[in-house]
Amino acid sequence: MRLRLKQAWLKMRLGLATSALFRRSYRARRFAYLAPHIHLADPSIAADIAAGQVVLGGRSLLCGDRSPFLVHPPSEGFVRALYGFGWLAHCDASPLPEVRAHARKLVRDFLTLPEKERSPIADHPAVVARRVIAWVTHSGLLAEGEDRPGYERLLDQLARDGALLAVYARRPDLGVARLHAAVGLAFHALALDRGRRAIPRAEQALDMALAALVAPDGATQDRDCGTVALIAADLVAMLALYRVRQIAPPPAVASTLTDMIAFLRLLQHPDGGLTLMNGGGRIARDLAGEVIRSRRGPATLLTSAVETGFERLENAHAVLIADAGTPPRRSCAGRAGASALAFEFSSRADRIITSCGMPPGADAAIARAYRSAAAHSSVLIDGDGLGSLYDAMMVTGETETRLRPLAGAVAPLRARSETGETLTLGHRGFIDRHGYALERQLTLVDAFAGLIGRDRFDDLTGEARQRLVTIAFHLNPRLVPVRLSRPDAVVLRLPEGKPGYDQFVFEAPGHTVLVEESRVFEAGSPHNRSHCLVIEAEIAGSTEIGWRILPYMPEFV
């Protein structure tokens, strides 16, 4: 009942905001400033769109001479990308007049489509924000050769979208969508020729959203590093827009960007890509690199994101990134994965252990599977991870799949020994259902690119029943697992690796190591077929399972 009242109230507010009377205060006289961007663009994609082959959100639509706005879409992700207009970047990068003209035609198709015939997704907060940012960023393309009536239609739509964003940016029950809306509203105020009060109002909404939805360690409250990268890219462009306008930005914008870049560095592997846990796989390495390089002055390198629960160990030979299991806020749990106590491990040459990421264009059922604990290099007991997923209705009317994490994460500990630095993670979430507390100890070896692990299952009451434990290690798709005569060891080969860094051995003394098929998805990578190393063990009472990843030296194996 309470949710229905909130939905009705929001619907009324949005209806008022988009009425001719209220949207007037968001009506601009013209595009005043061209917002920059750091997203990569590919003119060949624009040529495909002009030819009627539209690939968005990981799905393809062959529409020929028809407008994609009038053709049944292949997926919800396609609709979000289509109505978000991020594809204008590819068209703006094209020097071909016919491609640029086709982009303007598609925008006109959208503008002439009655609002009731548009997909409801077109008015979702993040989609509206992306559309506003795309239009003010590529206003030169949109206004190129446009007549006065067409120009006015653009400004009319931007007035409507600005009014929507003003409502969304002040809704605390929208989760991180509120932050997207606030960022979009700031671009709206800075790039368009509006009244004197537009920028202060937008800055106030942005300050409130940043304070509510960005943790002190630089992560957004949804624990999604993909969201962090996208918001950070927007803030980089926003600060450039402030410089163009010769206006001092709010202190919170620059400080938040600094914190976000430090957080992204914590989650960055030596190859430049982000961890594939919690949305990092949807961010191309080029974009992550551009955001991180945008930092001026000395860079801050975090080793621990205390509020969000990510940890990093690093030495001259390797990097370890781990999730300590801190749960996200419930209203922000729509993207987080069940990655508690999962880790990823890289040598300086390439990744070795990773997560599965997220397939582009994944529908709800597939996305749920890739957010589950089984899609991470983590631990399961009787098939259960340290979190589950459930569907929840949002105030916008969308159905969102949220993470329900098990309570009981233990603060991580660090220690140093002659072998190397050790990170100890713990979780008590399995106690109620399975009777065991879990402790995961990860030691990054100082002498070479190696990792020594110990997973301990503690029967705190002495009454825990026999359980099946599964420990999974998803491999980099470029790694080729090769079995040895011993059942407890597997050699991992990088066919194109640097000599000395191209072979590793995974060992779990006393336990059979299974090799299973897996899939690993990272934006921009053509490789997704992979393997997963699995340790399965029946435990009864307190048990410790040790394993290690070391450079392969046949004379010692």
Across the range 125-135, mean pLDDT stands at 97
Selection from 494, 471, 480, 479 nearest residue 548 by Cα: 471
Selection from 340, 348, 341, 303 nearest residue 450 by Cα: 348
Q: Which pLDDT score, from 0 to 100, does residue 536 have?
A: 97
C-alpha separations of 135 from 14, 221, 405 in Å: 21, 28, 38
Max intra-chain CA distance, the chain: 80
3-class DSSP assignment, residue 181: helix
Q: Which pLDDT score, from 0 to 100, does residue 447 have?
A: 95
Selection from 10, 18, 381 nearest residue 171 by Cα: 10
Q: In angstroms, how far is the first alpha carbon of the chain from the final one?
A: 64
- State the pTM of this model: 0.94
Name the one residue in this structure whose structure tokens are 């198709």. 109
> Ranked by mean pLDDT, which of 297-311, 356-370, 505-519 comes out on top?
505-519
Is position 189 within any domain? yes
Spatial separation of the C-alpha atoms in residues 111 and 510, rounded to whole Å:
66
Say if residue 311's pLDDT is above 50.
yes
Is position 139 within any domain? yes
Give me the half-sphere count of Cα atoms (radius 13 Å) on the Cβ side of residue 52.
8
Q: What is the pLDDT of residues 327-377, one digit of tens each?
A: 998 889 998 999 999 999 999 889 999 999 999 888 888 999 999 999 999
Is position 533 within any domain? no
Q: Kindly report the average pLDDT of the chain as a whole number.
A: 92
Cβ contact 408:416 at 8 Å: no
Q: Position 14: which residue type?
A: L
Selection from 416, 407, 403 nearest residue 437 by Cα: 407
Q: What is the pLDDT of residues 281-291, one digit of tens each?
A: 888 889 999 99
Total count of domains within the chain: 1
Name the one residue in this structure whose structure tokens are 């961010």. 283
Say if residue 496's pLDDT is above 80.
no
Across the range 241-251, mean pLDDT stands at 94
Say if residue 555's pLDDT is above 60.
no
Q: Which pLDDT score, from 0 to 100, does residue 497 have?
A: 66
Host domain of residue 201 = 14-213
Say if residue 280's pLDDT is above 90.
no
Is position 481 within any domain? no
Q: Which pLDDT score, from 0 to 100, does residue 553 have?
A: 73
Across the range 399-424, mean pLDDT stands at 95
Across the range 7-19, mean pLDDT stands at 82
SS3 per residue for 58-106 = CEEEECCCCCHHHCCCCCHHHHHHHHHCCCHHHHHHCCCHHHHHHHHHH
Q: Which pLDDT score, from 0 to 100, does residue 557 have?
A: 47
Say if residue 556's pLDDT is above 60.
no
Q: Which pLDDT score, from 0 to 100, does residue 344 have?
A: 98
Q: Which pLDDT score, from 0 to 100, does residue 501 have?
A: 67
Spatial separation of the C-alpha atoms in residues 156 and 174, rounded to whole Å:
26
Is position 149 within any domain? yes
pLDDT-derived band at 298 (thresholds 50, 70, 90) equals low
pLDDT-derived band at 247 (thresholds 50, 70, 90) equals very high
**Torsion angle (degrees, nearest 10) of CA 396, 399, 402, 404:** 110
Is position 489 within any domain? no
pLDDT-derived band at 239 (thresholds 50, 70, 90) equals very high
pLDDT-derived band at 299 (thresholds 50, 70, 90) equals low
Q: What is the pLDDT of residues 143-198, one digit of tens each?
A: 888 788 888 999 999 999 999 999 999 999 999 999 999 999 999 999 999 988 99
Q: Which long-range contacts (CB under 8 A, 24 or more apart) does 272-276 make?
A: 273/351, 273/522, 274/225, 274/226, 274/229, 275/225, 275/321, 275/344, 275/354, 275/355, 276/344, 276/354, 276/355, 276/356, 276/357, 276/520, 276/521, 276/522
High-pLDDT (> 70) share of the chain, %: 97
Spatial separation of the C-alpha atoms in residues 107 and 103, rounded to whole Å:
6
Spatial separation of the C-alpha atoms in residues 197 and 228, rounded to whole Å:
29
Is position 108 within any domain? yes
Cβ contact 226:264 at 8 Å: no
Q: What is the pLDDT of residues 437-486, one digit of tens each?
A: 999 999 999 999 999 999 999 998 888 899 999 999 999 999 999 999 99
Is position 419 within any domain? no
